Amino acid sequence: MDHYHYTIGIDWGSTNHQISLIDAQGKLCGERSFPHGGQGLRDSTQWIKTATNSEPHQIGIAIEVPHGPVVETMMESGFKVHAINPKQLDRFRDRLSPAGAKDDRRDARVLGDALRTDPQALHQLNPTSPQIIVLRDLSRTAEDLTSSKTQFTNKIKQHLWRYFPQFLELEPDLSKSWIRELWERISTPEKAQRIRVGTVAKLLARHKIRKISAEQILKILRQPAVTVAEGTVEGAMGAIKTAFKQLAVTMEELNATLLQLDETTEKLAASLQANDQASSLKEGSPATDQTPALNQDIAILRSIPGVGRIVLGILLAEAFHRFEKRDRAALRCLTGIAPVTRSSGKQHFVVRRMAAHPRLRDAMYHWARVAVQRDPVSKRKYAALRQRGHQHARALRSVADRLISVACAMLQNGSLYDPSLEQATSSNRSNG
């Protein structure tokens, strides 16, 4: 860890940023508050350089957030920026104020002093490539749009359940375009009795739907209707019509975002490949098969069952450097799958880790959930854990733990996922 001439704590805010300057002996040398904005951030970096009279690499900065305009400005100026978890900051704060006092000036000083005395407890940030930044925003946008999609489809299901429950038997995914068009033609049980089979058949042919026939659809929709109060159908239809319009816009934006997500992922792979080639030429020796190139990481992660475009985008955007270092321990903690052991005296128990990156935790949940459906080894592991009495979420965390270990091993070896090797290993263990 670098030895800094000065350490600086920045308590960032939405309107102002509080900065404390501490020397190597722990003395508070100055503190200032700067407004958020281009001029304010430029003034803050200039003040730091003037007050310290040191080279930027000799100055360490501690801040709670790992990214954002403040972090990017400080890194662009050449300072060594370190991130600290808010819970860690709360523990460091007790050293200066056991009474629990808290204000911006105190927090800034605690941040700077924590970096001075315990630099190993903070994570030094590295410059992030433009593709990673774009990938982070796109993956978050895709997540938000997916959440909106679920919200609108649930609203449609709720209103259909009120007056037209048989419509819900046709297709579980109401976001599909043919379902919306079908409802526009058959929005009530009365219309289902009057519409022709040929009209429905043409609709299915236009959307290339073959899993269900027009006759089957009409048989389902012409089941006896539920009895509802007067005005219920009109009110529900109005709400469904609005929800379908919102859903159509959401799906259009989601599909466009997913396309951008794929394009950005490919650009990131190309950028990594270019960096690997430049490094090989600089060192004078090309990369060997035993030394996996960084541009292979994306292909390796993508080959693992359960890793779709959104999960891959989140893993790369939020934990790229951890995968780059093959840091299994850090990944287990960040994703929340590493259990927490509490042992004191005669008590010894293990609990779920709550301190985790929420987006990575959700990504691991979906990764493991899909892997259980598509990967025989993950499916067997999940079934065995359930038979032992573990709950669904607990079993998925164990499956996710295995997937993280497999991913790190594959990244280390530079090999793609091969299910036959997993099955052979499981068979050897069983025979042994």
254 and 166 in contact (C-beta within 8 Å)? Answer: no
Measured distance CA(192)–CA(169) in Å, rounded? 14
Measured distance CA(297)–CA(322) in Å, rounded? 12
Say which range, 1-10, 30-39, 55-64, 394-403, has the weakest mean pLDDT.
1-10
Tell me the CA end-to-end span of the chain in Å, nearest whole number.
46
The stretch 393-410 carries a mean pLDDT of: 92
Q: Give the model's confidence band at 1: pLDDT under 50 very low, under 70 low, under 90 confident, else very high.
A: very low
Alpha-helical (H) ranges within 186-292 are: 189-194, 197-206, 214-221, 232-283
Q: Residue 292 above 70 pLDDT?
A: no
Q: So what's the pLDDT on residue 276? A: 55
62 and 8 in contact (C-beta within 8 Å)? Answer: yes
Measured distance CA(286)–CA(279) in Å, rounded? 9
The stretch 49-57 carries a mean pLDDT of: 90
Higher pLDDT, 372 or 320: 372
Give all strands (DSSP E) within 36-167, no chain letters: 59-63, 80-83, 123-124
> DSSP 3-state assignment of 348?
strand
Query: How long is the chain?
Result: 432
Percent of the chain with pLDDT over 70: 90
Beta-carbon-side half-sphere exposure of residue 75 (alpha carbons within 13 Å):
17
Classify residue 14 as exposed, middle or buried by CB count within 10 Å of its CB (0-12, 13-18, 19+): exposed
Measured distance CA(270)–CA(267) in Å, rounded? 5
409 and 295 in contact (C-beta within 8 Å)? Answer: no
From the list 403, 410, 414, 412, the residue with the least C-alpha distance to 378 is: 403
| Structure tokens, 407 | 């991913």
From the list 253, 266, 259, 244, the residue with the least C-alpha distance to 146 is: 253
Residue 208, sorted as left (phi over 0), alpha (psi -120 to 50) or beta, turns out to be left
Tell me what percent of the chain is helix, strand and coil, each rounded to the nearest 5. 65, 10, 25
Classify residue 111 as exposed, middle or buried by CB count within 10 Å of its CB (0-12, 13-18, 19+): buried
Return the amino acid letter for 217: I
Numbers of helices and strands, H then E, in the chain: 17, 8
Q: Give the model's confidence band at 160: pLDDT under 50 very low, under 70 low, under 90 confident, else very high.
A: very high
From the list 4, 36, 260, 196, the residue with the least C-alpha distance to 113 is: 4
pLDDT by residue (tens digit) across 234-285?
999 999 999 999 999 999 999 999 999 988 888 887 776 666 555 555 555 4
424 and 322 in contact (C-beta within 8 Å)? Answer: no
> DSSP 3-state assignment of 177?
helix
The stretch 306-329 carries a mean pLDDT of: 88
From the list 197, 204, 156, the residue with the least C-alpha distance to 181 is: 204
pTM comes to 0.75
pLDDT by residue (tens digit) across 90-107?
888 877 777 666 788 888
C-alpha distances out from residue 185 to 156, 178, 192, 195, 241, Å:
16, 11, 9, 8, 12
Q: Residue 288 above 50 pLDDT?
A: no
Q: So what's the pLDDT on residue 279? A: 55
261 and 310 in contact (C-beta within 8 Å)? Answer: yes
Percent of the chain with pLDDT over 90: 53
Q: So what's the pLDDT on residue 321? A: 81
Q: What is the mean pLDDT of the chain?
A: 86
The stretch 351-370 carries a mean pLDDT of: 89
